[in-house]
Amino acid sequence: MKLQGISGARGIGAGTVYVYTQEEICIDRTPIEEAAVAEELHKLDDAMQTTIDQLTEVKAKAAATMGDAEAAIFEAHIMIAQDPSLLTSIRQAVESEHKSAAEATEGVIESFAAMFSAMDDPYMRERGADIRDIGDRLLRNILGMTPRGLAHLSGQIILVADDLTPSDTASLDATVVQGIVTASGGPTSHAAIMARTLAIPAVMGVGDSSALRTGEQAVVNGTDGIVLTELSDDEFARYQEEGARYRRVLQTMKESANLPAKTKDGHDVLLFGNIGKADDAAKARELGAEGIGLFRTEFLYMERDELPNEEVQYEAYKACAEAMDGRPVIIRTMDIGGDKELKCLALPKEMNPFLGYRAIRICLSEPDMFKTQLKALLRAGVHGQVHIMYPMISSLDEVRRANALLQEAKDELAAAGVAFNGDTPVGIMVETPAAAMIADILAKEVDFFSIGTNDLCQYTLAVDRMNERIGQLYEPLHPAVLRLIKQVIDASHKEGKLTGMCGEMAGDPMATMILLGLGLDEFSMSATAIPMIKAVLRSVTVDECRHMAAKALTLGSAKEIAAYVTRIMTEKGIEL
């Protein structure tokens, strides 16, 4: 069975479900006698002191296990508990309305929490949960109940709760809790923030979590926001292994994050990030990207009634170039086809959209639209190292026509007196077998290549990888694909030009050694894969990789190649 929620923290975790429920708080709502007021106030003061003592202890514990940022939450909780307006309001309700300390606390906490919940800012809305957390603690102390907490858990646990408060998670042991599922809350909830801090895979807001029962096995896929149950033992074991691998990789990532992408024999390798929005550039930098190898510009065309104008595009490209602070940024011109519905560009539905009217083919027949994008790119080149890349090239003629339009764009900008970078490098995606086969000819016309392995693989192997019945035929390590890659790299090097790769294969650690051995100059991938690929690079030498690539090219099938790679990596002690 599958529950869908929102990704709270990435990664896979497998374990036994523990549904976290609380002993319910029961409040006696009988008005108190005048004579009992003093006693109730005394009870309140004691409980408040206990609450502050507990919070101080919890804060110290959080500082030790989760760091100062987490501890700061409890500092705020202590401040709230000591807040004069809180205590005064509760005391007033006891004195003048003759409510019990518990009932008065409940009412005052709820009115403050409601104020927060009504606020516009999602962060502040979530803070209502902090107030309720303090109120809950205070109430339990007034009523002499045990405080909340998760310190008693052991084994490999998938923690399921309606939501988790800082009090709950302060005592949480990250080696025990393999995954977190909450029924309510989103990516800014306390539970999600804490899960990311502790790198525990988490899925938030699944709605009804009653299907998850204590004692059953479950898998949390925090990356996709999915919870799986009712798995066979084999499936469960597989996810457990995947979870364990994820944690090892995280460890490796932590260790390699600030180290250079250099092989054991001192050869520098360019590791770049693939991004879909300018905002993602900063995150890619944090994960170690030394450049952007693929900036997809499709987002500019999505959910928009009109085509994006030059200014809108210029701002986006400029933002990305500036975020990368002088490092290379390869921006791909519009790559859209009939498989996507666009409001701003009516594309007819096609039988075979991947063999149809798409990408550069559209751009060349809509020269005004294309030139608008090219102008924005040329102008953004003033603010950083912008590179232009044409997708879906299958002939020399297309490159020449695109370059002719680029020249027109330059001429028009020059005539208008607008600043632009006339030396902006221009490259192509090599993603059709046709482009790969004539790479030697194309290399003379462009400044660089970037191999798009997703499409190259799909076109070379004639496999639609979305088709479940033949999905297993989609093999990036297929000898046909590897040979084409070698041909492309060799052709570019002959002209003194570089070849990068921006398909998923570039971020697949199984392919890293072979690609390096084939001479690939730049690897561009989803930024989260960078630390892992870096870890592989740092444990090999270029000579070993060359030897390995040469051997792999003599093997007859993807399976044999994969087995060979696995054997070498195991020998070298490289964990994936």
Partner 1 sequence: MCTMIQEHVTITNESGLHARPATLFTQLAAKFQSKITLANGAKQADAKSILTVLTLGATKGTELVVTVDGADEAEAMAAVKEFLTTHKD
Cβ within 8 Å of residue 80, ≥6 positions away:
86, 130, 131, 134
* 48 lies in the binding site for partner 1 (CB under 8 A): no
Distance CA 302, CA 347 (A): 13
N residues, the chain: 576
**What's the distance, CA 231 to chain centroid?**
26
* 132 lies in the binding site for partner 1 (CB under 8 A): no
* 28 lies in the binding site for partner 1 (CB under 8 A): no
* 368 lies in the binding site for partner 1 (CB under 8 A): no
* 85 lies in the binding site for partner 1 (CB under 8 A): yes
Q: Where does this chain touch partner 1 (CB under 8 A) — which range of 122-130, 198-206, 220-228, 547-555? A: 122-130
Among 27, 36, 76, 282, binds partner 1 (CB under 8 A): 76
Alpha-carbon distances of 511 from 269, 306, 368, 398, 460, rounded to whole Å: 15, 41, 40, 31, 18
* 348 lies in the binding site for partner 1 (CB under 8 A): no
* 342 lies in the binding site for partner 1 (CB under 8 A): no
Q: How far is the CB of 44 from partner 1 (least distance, A)?
A: 17
What is the set of active-site residues?
Answer: 190, 502
Question: In this complex, which beta carbon is closest to partner 1, that of residue 126 or of residue 398?
Answer: 126
* 120 lies in the binding site for partner 1 (CB under 8 A): yes
Question: In this complex, which beta carbon is closest to partner 1, that of residue 123 or of residue 416?
Answer: 123
Distance CA 163, CA 136 (A): 13
Per-residue DSSP letters for 527-557? GGGHHHHHHHHTT--HHHHHHHHHHHTT-SS
Task: Check: CB of residue 40 under 8 Å from CB of residue 28.
Answer: no
Distance CA 485, CA 107 (A): 69
Q: Where does this chain touch partner 1 (CB under 8 A) — which range of 77-85, 169-177, 249-257, 271-279? A: 77-85
Helix 101-117 / helix 37-66 crossing angle, nearest 10 deg: 50
Question: In this complex, which beta carbon is closest to partner 1, that of residue 131 or of residue 227?
Answer: 131
* 131 lies in the binding site for partner 1 (CB under 8 A): yes
Among 1, 72, 237, 404, binds partner 1 (CB under 8 A): 72
Q: Which two tokens stand for residue 345?
A: 């560009």
Question: In this complex, which beta carbon is closest to partner 1, that of residue 79 or of residue 563?
Answer: 79
Q: How far is the CB of 75 from partner 1 (least distance, A)?
A: 6
Task: Check: CB of residue 305 under 8 Å from CB of residue 344.
Answer: yes
* 136 lies in the binding site for partner 1 (CB under 8 A): no
Number of amino acids touching partner 1 (CB under 8 A): 21
Burial environment of residue 182 by CB neighbours within 10 A (0 to 12, 13 to 18, 19 or more): buried
* 279 lies in the binding site for partner 1 (CB under 8 A): no
The gap between the terminal CA atoms of the chain, to the nearest Å, is: 28
Q: How far is the CB of 131 from partner 1 (least distance, A)?
A: 7
Question: In this complex, which beta carbon is closest to partner 1, that of residue 74 or of residue 317?
Answer: 74
- Within 417-508, where are the H helices? 433-437, 439-442, 453-461, 479-494
| CA diameter of the chain | 98
Q: How far is the CB of 340 from partner 1 (least distance, A)?
A: 35
Site map 96..115 versus partner 1, x via CB under 8 A: ----------------x--x
* 60 lies in the binding site for partner 1 (CB under 8 A): no
Q: Where does this chain touch partner 1 (CB under 8 A) — which range of 73-81, 283-291, 309-317, 402-410? A: 73-81
Task: Check: CB of residue 232 under 8 Å from CB of residue 217.
Answer: no
Question: Which residues lie near partner 1 (CB under 8 A)?
Answer: 72-73, 75-76, 79-80, 83-86, 112, 115-116, 119-121, 123-124, 127, 130-131
